[in-house]
């Protein structure tokens, strides 16, 4: 596992660029499991970025990336942005990968971002507890097994309002049955 400072350095590099071009973003994935659930290993950083803003500034963004330590493929980024998919950046100094999702998996999630001290003295927007759990459900539906425990841990200290909001989102995403199944599972090995 990478030292926490490695994550901080790499994230700070990308955040500087996103803020320079006015591209809204938030951290998601394993970082939200750490923030809302329980500590667990993660080998990369996942971010959601505002597709419209990135599309509008894509040429400038790519030109600025050329002047950084990030390794990337311009064509892959352009295709991912056009198709609202995912692209990767690799920090050549820190040897850490960033998965950048050029779309919201959960409709409106960037509007509900929450500021959190993910790293000491660095407040960053992260997916809300409800959106983090909902996105984990989507990934479970796509076959992710590690997200099952994440959902239960993220919801362990959720408020009644957050639980209600998640149930509503799960219904909209047609994942209500999956949510109930995941919540009924045990974290203990039998």
pTM higher than 0.85: yes
Asked, for residue 72, whether it belongs to a domain, the answer is yes
pLDDT in tens, 54-92: 999 999 999 999 999 999 999 999 999 999 999 999 999
Give the CATH number, domain containing residue 78.
Answer: 3.30.460
Strand pairing class (44-49; 96-101) = parallel
* Higher per-residue pLDDT: 3 or 170: 170
Residues 5 and 34 occupy one common structural domain: yes
CA separation (Å) from 123 to 8, 25, 78, 120, 176? 11, 13, 29, 8, 33
* Structural domain count, the chain: 2
pLDDT at 56: 98
DSSP 102: S
Residues 56 and 132 occupy one common structural domain: no
Residue 35 has pLDDT above 90, yes or no: no
Residues 2 and 58 occupy one common structural domain: yes
Asked, for residue 190, whether it belongs to a domain, the answer is no
What's the whole-number mean pLDDT along residues 25-46? 82
Which domain-ending residue is among 104, 127, 150? 127
């Amino acid at each position: 596992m990478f030292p926490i400072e490695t994550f901080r350095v790499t994230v700070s590099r990308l955040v500087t660029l996103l803020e320079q071009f006015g591209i809204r973003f938030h951290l998601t994935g394993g970082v939200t499991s750490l923030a809302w659930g329980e500590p667990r290993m993660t080998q990369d950083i996942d971010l959601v970025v505002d597709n419209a803003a990135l599309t509008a500034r894509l040429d400038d963004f790519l030109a600025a990336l050329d002047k950084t330590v990030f390794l990337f493929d311009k064509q892959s980024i352009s295709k991912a942005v056009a198709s609202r998919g995912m692209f990767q950046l690799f920090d050549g100094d820190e040897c850490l990968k960033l998965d950048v999702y050029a779309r919201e998996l959960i409709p409106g999630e960037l509007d509900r971002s929450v500021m959190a001290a993910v790293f000491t003295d660095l407040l960053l927007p992260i997916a809300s507890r409800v959106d983090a759990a909902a996105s984990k459900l989507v990934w479970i539906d796509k076959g992710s097994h590690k997200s099952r425990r994440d959902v239960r841990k993220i919801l362990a200290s959720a408020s009644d309002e957050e639980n209600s909001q998640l149930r509503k989102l799960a219904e909209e995403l047609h994942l209500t049955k999956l949510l109930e199944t995941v919540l009924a599972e045990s974290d203990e090995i039998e």
